[in-house]
Each structure stands twice: as structure tokens, then as C-alpha cells.
Structure 1
């Protein structure tokens, strides 16, 4: 009998609280999420913190802080020019003076009431929360960190990987059965991590584009290429799971209606890879036409296909459906 899918709180319960805040992670745990997911970037002094991007004007109040006005700059991140404020230009002490804000206020105006109230958490603070809550509740709350822009951070001398492994190990996480998944959209850093740790690794696969380290190396393969059976076999040599854009599992037509499922789930399972789908959200603008106003129906469809987990901004919705699947 297949285990029930795991529920991964995407950036915490980010449908209800500004993403990547202790409040979002704590609410997700209270809702019953199996894992909480921090996107990891790094500070000038080498501390891992949770932000969607290293450019932080969309998710913090840095742009209205006069003491940091001079830090605004132009950088090229993964080939894309960005203007703003970047975590690697701030110490942790400076980051801790900032406050989080809702990233998509036009869709989630209810979350803007928390703007200016919540700190930017470190990875260690998120781990400490999960450990504390795991003592209070059953079962253990897992950690599902993503390494953001690993090639870029390695290039500027602030590699994420060793710091991540050291932080997890120092917190008592050990071995392949630890409640940990480490994910990345790049390949080479996961391959490196596979030589340094037994923690389960997750290769993220998008509906378009290619891993940035492939661009740097001149590798012509795209994410869509990587879902082919022969490529999944290669992924299984260094990773234990794939994190899949849900449209790769069930494509949509030009009218945003669902087409027939692909063979990707069975192909991944045939290569001993778990398959975790992303990202599930309740708002209609993210739902296919088939499930407007009915996010529960979308979950049910994907759960019945046999996926092993979902990333959700609304873990309570995911859990309510998951508990009822047979």
C-alpha cells in the first residue's frame, strides 16, 4: 500500500502569512504540514537565511529604509540583470533590522496586516522551531531547504552547500532517514552534495528553461529534456526525488484546461525516484480552468495519480484532501 503523500508547506503557510517568516512556518506546523520549506540565501557574513530571492526589495521593507539607500545596486543573477538590495551585501545584524512584507499583496491583501511586524529568519531559527514543535507534537516536523542560485553564490565566495550541511549536522540531523530533503534547480551542486552527505536530495524540474549551471557549462539540455527516462536514470544516481512543476505531470492546453497525464510519475518511480509536485495554491489565477473555485479537486486529481508529495501555500487545504484519499 502506497504511503500517503507528504505535505510540504511552501515557504510556510504562505497563503496566510508573509512567506519565509517564523509566523508562516509556525502556522504550517500547527496545520499539520509534514515539512516546512525555506528557500536559502546567504548574508555577507556567511549566515543562511530564508528568502525567496537574494534581492529582497519585494519581501522586506529595505527599500524604505534610508540607512540602506546606498546599498541599492545592479547585479546579474543567473544571467538576469536585477536592480535592488541583495542579502550578500548585508550582515545578519543588518538583516535582522529589516521586516518582512507580503510578496503578492494584490492576491493576498489579508497578509499585508503583518507587514513590518516579522523578522527575516535564519535557517537555524527555522530548525529550532521545527525541533521544538516536534517535541510538542507527533510526528517529527521535517525541513525541506532549497539552495538558491548556488553557482552565483559559489562564484562570489559564499557557497551555500557546506554551510547547509554543517548547520543540519550540528542540529542533530544524520543520515538518509533524517527528516530532511535538500532541493535545487541546479544539478552540479546536488551532485556535489551527494558526495558529502546521505541526506535525501531533490532535483527540481521546471516547465521551461534549463539549470543555470548547464548554461555556464554549455550543456544544451533543458528541464524538459531531464524528464526523459534516460535522464531520470542519471538523476537517480545522485538524488532520491524530483520536484516537478505540476504542468509537467498534467499539461494544460492554450485555454488553461487540463490535458491527459504524462507518464512522468511512473517513469520516476521506475527509476526509484520519489515525485513531489509544485506549487499548489487556492487562488483561481493559479488553478486550471477545470478547477476554478475548487482547489480541493486539483489536489484530489494529483493525489490519485500517485504522487509522493505536494508543495502547498495552503497546507490545511492539502491536508484536508490528503486525509480523505484511499
Structure 2
């Protein structure tokens, strides 16, 4: 694993694995990303009914598994309120790990990406992922990092399935417990990062979108000063100073670094990189994808031009569905 310092090459974080080529959050996607040379692989973590951390981008799994076609689980379909949004589907917390392991994963974006691997892979646990990473680190002779995200932490705590303590316990069991460990833990909420700061020494990352606000501000306004703050308030110089008290980096929607206008074309870069670096924070941008539908028109369908721009601006790391493209541009 390469150094985190700002003088080294930006970190390439495989977003949900090499998810441009394999169904996201599968061991196959993570392994391919490692083979491509990614510095970190990124598992999003949710909880099972029996308290096991597994990798899914959402706890609702009908978009990424075959659960909706499985007659034995038809009665598990339900409607829940997740972070203030009404969601209907099948949820990991209503299944045991053994039940989830019977499901098969499918491509989340079938209109854009190959479905040839649908049905081949299962849902991995955090332990599965760490053991894969440690095997691959030994085999390749390079230190590969993991970059887990705690998904919907307020929600999971409210239903008695807190994510943070089990995550830290597992990391500790595998020797991933100090400042030198190749781990970043990320969250879109703030309170759970502050709590994590008290129980682990690994690096923490405040995720920041370009719209909305952290859900813990909404769910527990009495615990937060000025709880009307939005994500954009978090990336003001004052907000960044507060983040620096509990986190080591920010993981930001790339539009907060290079905005776009109403027509989709790029606007001049903001001061966010300089402002964050002034507070000692690394900046990791998301999400970089090759398909033209995800690119600003300025890049004329060439994803390499987007990487080149962000590398020139001095970004410290980026999340990519196509880590091979990110690394090719970085090396050239």
C-alpha cells in the first residue's frame, strides 16, 4: 500500500470493488480490483438479523440479488422508513447470514454493464473480505487496504444492530487497530465517527455529499448544535476545522471540488482542496466512472480527462468503479 501523505500519488480506492467489471460488493469484484493494483477496496457494511456484518451498498437488496425471485422469501418483502425515506423491498436485517448466503448477486446497472456474471457469486461477510485482502497482500507482496463504510448507522443502532462495535472488534481481531493499519472507516453521519474515535485508532473519513445533511442531525437534533447545517456547511473552513477534530480525511462528492452548471458543463474548481489541506485533512473524491452518461460533456466521453483534471488539482485519493483506468492515468 502506498503512503497516505500528500506528496505521494493519489490513492486509488476500488469503489465496491472493480464494480465496472464485476457485480459490486462481491469477492470477485474485490479480487479483480486488487489484481488491477488498487490501493484500497471499499466494502459498504450492513447487518444481518443474527449480527453479522456483510457487504451491500444498501440494506435493501432486491436491486443487487435474486431475492425477489425466491419464493421461499416472498413473505419477507416489507416497507420501512430508512433515513427518512420510505423503502419497499427485502432487507438484510430480516435475514440470517445462512439465508443471505443462499442468494446470488446480480449486476446493479444492467443497462450499462455486463450481466454475464449474474448468479455466480454470493454476499461476502466482512471477515471474508479481510481474509481475501490478507491473502492477496501476502501473495502480491504489497499491503492492500480496506475502506469500509458504515451504512445507515442511526437506523441500525435504533433496531439494536449497531455496526460500530462489531466492526472495530473484527478489525482488532485481524490486527487492524492503529494509525499505521491500512484502514479508513467512512460514514455520511457524524456522531458515529465521533464514537468510533473513542474506540479505535484507525483513520476515519467524513463523507460529504453536495446536497442534504447528515441523517444524525435530523434524527437527533438535540445532540447537535445548529442541527440545520447541511453537508455544504461541513466543508466551509469552520466546518472543516470541526471535522479535523475527529476525522483524518473527507470523502466528497467530486462536484464539491469541480462543480457543474445547470447545463452539466464544468465550472471553475472551488477552494475545497486547499481549505481541507489547511486543516490537515486528506480529500478523497467520488465517484469516478467510465461510462459517458456519468461524465461532464467537457470530457467528450473520455474518462481519462476527468482523472487528469483531478490529479492536477491535487486530490489525495479517489473512488473509482474502474481502478485500472485510474491507475493507467496516474502512471502516465
TM-score normalized by the length of structure 2: 0.96
The offset of 1:172, in angstroms, is 1.5
In structure 2, distance between residues paired with 1:296 and 1:258:
15
User: What residue is the counterpart of 1:264 in the other structure?
Assistant: 272
User: What residue is the counterpart of 1:26 in the other structure?
Assistant: 31
User: What residue is the counterpart of 1:170 in the other structure?
Assistant: 173
Deviations 1:87-116 (A, max 9, x none): 0000000000000000110111x2x11111
SS in 2 for 1:113: coil
User: What residue is the counterpart of 1:295 in the other structure?
Assistant: 303
In structure 1, distance between residues paired with 2:199 and 2:7:
30
In structure 2, distance between residues paired with 1:173 and 1:197:
9
SS in 2 for 1:277: strand
SS in 2 for 1:93: helix
Pairwise CA RMSD = 0.7
| Pairing 1:217–2:220 present | yes
In structure 2, distance between residues paired with 1:243 and 1:51:
19
| Pairing 1:138–2:146 present | no
Deviations 1:17-68 (A, max 9, x none): 0000011000000000000000000000000000010000000000000000
Aligned counterpart in structure 2 of residue 318 of structure 1, from 298, 318, 326: 326
| Pairing 1:191–2:194 present | yes
| Pairing 1:117–2:120 present | yes
The offset of 1:171, in angstroms, is 1.1
- Long gaps (5+) in structure 2: 1-5, 222-226
Structure 1, 137-146 or 311-320: larger mean CA deviation:
137-146
* Counterpart mapping for 1:72-151 below 5 A: 72-108=77-113, 110=114, 112-151=115-154
Moved beyond 6 Å, runs of 4+:
none
In structure 2, distance between residues paired with 1:292 and 1:40:
35
The offset of 1:255, in angstroms, is 1.3
SS in 2 for 1:114: coil
Aligned length, in residue pairs = 322
TM-score normalized by the length of structure 1: 0.98
Deviations 1:253-281 (A, max 9, x none): 11111110000001000000000000000
In structure 2, distance between residues paired with 1:30 and 1:310:
18
- Long gaps (5+) in structure 1: none
User: What residue is the counterpart of 2:161 in the other structure?
Assistant: 158
User: What residue is the counterpart of 2:43 in the other structure?
Assistant: 38
The offset of 1:138, in angstroms, is 3.2
SS in 1 for 2:181: coil
Deviations 1:108-166 (A, max 9, x none): 1x2x1111110100010010010000001132010000000000000000000000000
The offset of 1:292, in angstroms, is 2.7
